[in-house]
Chains A and B, each alone.
Chain A
Amino acid sequence: MRSRPGWALAVHVLLLMAALVMVVPLVWIVLTAFKERNEVFSQIPQWLPAHPTFKNFLGVLDAMPFWRYYWNTIVVAFGILAIQVVTITLAAYAFARMQFWGRDVLFVLLLVQLMIAPQSTVIQNYITVTRLGLLDTKLAIMAPYLASAFGTFLLRQTFKGIPKELEEAAALDGCGTLRFLLHVAIPLALPGYLAFGLVSLTFHWNEFFWPLVVTETTGSRTLTLGLGIFAQTAEGSADWTMLMAMTLMVIAVPLGAFLLFQRRFINSFMQSGLGG
């Protein structure tokens, strides 16, 4: 649209208002996290902390095995991604470049994963995990996600686009499937891997319900669970400043990564929409 200055100003004002609605809650909790415990109990909200303090953050580290939760979250999120990369690469290669009996039916069976709500099978998955002896382990949190229809779908598109001649030429040079994958297909699909990786990491870093169901002790619990549990203890529910400090500690890394690479993240999530 060829814009008149008035229109441009109106668009800015409208978007600024929307952005404020999104950002004000974040600003409010950041400021709360630096306040003294009793400072927040005032009828008139004080935006700026009177005596900015780090006490709340240190208090969180005392009140719970925060770094343990952090480590568990890292292991779960990156562990899932590492295994997914292997499973989706192999499956995507087969579906994109090989002929085999039952291929189309199997592909539809794969896409079923995109259509069903994982929450509706939570009871049965809990039973399965229990029978496998995985209850209350990090592997239990990871197990249902080790195959990914979305990731396979995304990579299959890219692998399909690689010219047949390229693979034949590689084969003539004595290059087997594995080497073709490593030297040609995977490098060409790197943007797809990146998009998938960012979406997967974000999703599993943030997950709450499934880990809640299958974990029982701090040895396997993740950050979001630590936050949820803390919020329901007497200490956490009475102390807004400490709760907001912990919330901030939970979101800091994903948010920081997003601020640094926002275009990458947004494009990745865009693709997740087109894939589904």
Chain B
Amino acid sequence: MSSQPGRIGKARRRWAQVLRPYCYILPTFLFLILFTHWPILRTFYVSFFKWNMASPKMEFVGLANYAQAWKAPLFWQVLGNNLLFAAGTLPLTLAIALVLALLINQKIRGLALYRALLFYPTMIPMAAAAMIWLWILTPNYGLLNYYGKWLGLPDVHWLGHSTLALWALVLVGVWKRVGYYMVIYLAGLQVIPEHLHEAARIEGAGAWQRFWRVTFPLVSPTTFFVGVMAVIDAFQAIDQVYLMTGGGPGNATNLFIFYIYQNAFRFFDFGYGSAISAILFLILLGLTLLVFRTLHRKVHYA
């Protein structure tokens, strides 16, 4: 009987042992559930309701919000814009980042400085990059138009042009992000063992062949990662749209997040906003899987 308190103490201690790990992850999961898991589920849930300024009480409407998107020409235009934006950004980013990384990875003196000069746009806010390019792209007094005219091009109102505006945003996106992806590629290149290049050289492979037969396959996990990231980036682009074009001219540069922003925070239509958020969520999931599957066959896991 005298051991009773001890036994209780032991049981309590055992329970403390079992619960301890959960206490450690509790703060993380509290925030994670509140701001990651719950909003995903809740976005899908709200997307089945009518919930806007006109009807502030949530009212179940089934798939009506999705039908509204399906029938809205603007929805399809936004989707098209964003796909074009991604299709423009992805290959440019991949190609330029890889070429720059290959150049910097050469064993030549004095290349470290270039790494910093190419990387610095990663450090500045997109809002600041937007201001810089707003000034450079401006008609009449902008730097780009001046040197364009020098080359015999007409004075272009880049951000006011119905097709060029989107490409101006592509340009800003690539300028801002390519240094970051270059650094990711550098990390990928640096783990390729030197002896593989040596072996290929001894076999008589030229630089071009060595790139396609050795470097490119071995760096493919990085290409996969950069590809997925660039696509997700393209569908998350908002700062530059908000600050440089406001989605215009017309809706020529209206991208997905801006469209969500307009519907939810300017027209206060949370139901429809949630439906298009859910669609975006599924698109990103789908694209990630698609990029994964296309690249998977070529990906070489060392």
Contacts and interface: CB of A to CB of B under 8 A. Distances in A.
Given A122-B277, A212-B242, A266 B21 contact: no
A184 interface: no
Contact of B243 (A29, A45, A205, A228): A228
B118 A22 contact: yes
Given A12-B108, A119-B257, A19 B118 contact: yes
B134 A213 contact: no
Interface in A19-54: 19, 21-26, 28-29, 32, 40-45
B38 A128 contact: yes
B230 interface: no
Nearest to A100: B21
Given A255-B124, A274-B187, A128 B117 contact: no
B227 to A, nearest CB: 13
Interface in A131-168: 143-144, 146-147, 149, 152
Contact of A273 (B18, B125, B187): B187
A166 to B, nearest CB: 19
A240 B13 CA distance: 67
A22 B187 contact: no
Contacts of A109: 29, 32, 37
Given A3-B106, A205-B125, A128 B39 contact: yes
B251 interface: no
Contact of B107 (A1, A100, A143): A1
Interface string B250-281: 00000001001100110000100110010011
B135 A251 contact: no
A75 B32 CA distance: 22
Nearest to A213: B265
Given A11-B111, A124-B39, A45 B143 contact: yes
Interface in A67-109: 86-88, 90-91, 93-95, 98-100, 103, 106, 109
Given A128-B39, A255-B124, A258-B120, A270 B100 contact: no
Given A90-B25, A117-B280, 4 more contacts: A1-B106, A22-B117, A147-B32, A273-B183
Given A45-B143, A255-B124, A269-B180, A94 B264 contact: no
Interface in B126-183: 126-128, 131-136, 138, 140-141, 143, 146, 175, 179-180, 183
A251 B107 contact: no
Please list the 3 inter-chain residue pairs (A to B) with the smallest Cβ-Cβ separation, ordered nearest first: A124-B39, A206-B125, A147-B31
Given A208-B126, A276-B225, A269 B27 contact: no
B186 A22 contact: no
Interface string A222-255: 0111011001100000001001101100110011
Query: Could you say which of A15, A103, A120 has the most chain B C-beta atoms within 10 Å of its C-beta?
Result: A120
Nearest to B34: A128
B24 interface: yes
B172 to A, nearest CB: 10
B302 interface: no
A274 B183 CA distance: 11
Contact of B284 (A3, A11, A106, A120): A120
A89 B104 CA distance: 35
23 contacts: A3-B106, A12-B110, A28-B135, A32-B135, A43-B140, A87-B28, A91-B28, A100-B18, A106-B25, A116-B40, A119-B260, A120-B284, A121-B35, A126-B265, A143-B34, A143-B35, A208-B126, A250-B127, A250-B128, A254-B123, A266-B183, A273-B225, A274-B187
B229 A276 contact: yes
A121 B277 contact: yes
Contacts of B34: 128, 143
A265 interface: yes
A44 to B, nearest CB: 7
B49 interface: no
Interface in B26-67: 27-32, 34-40, 42-43, 46
A43 B274 CA distance: 47
Contacts of B30: 147
A110 B28 contact: yes
Contacts of A88: 28
A12 B222 CA distance: 25
B78 interface: no
B162 to A, nearest CB: 22
A15 B111 contact: yes
A172 interface: no
A208 B232 CA distance: 17
A169 interface: no
B123 A255 contact: yes
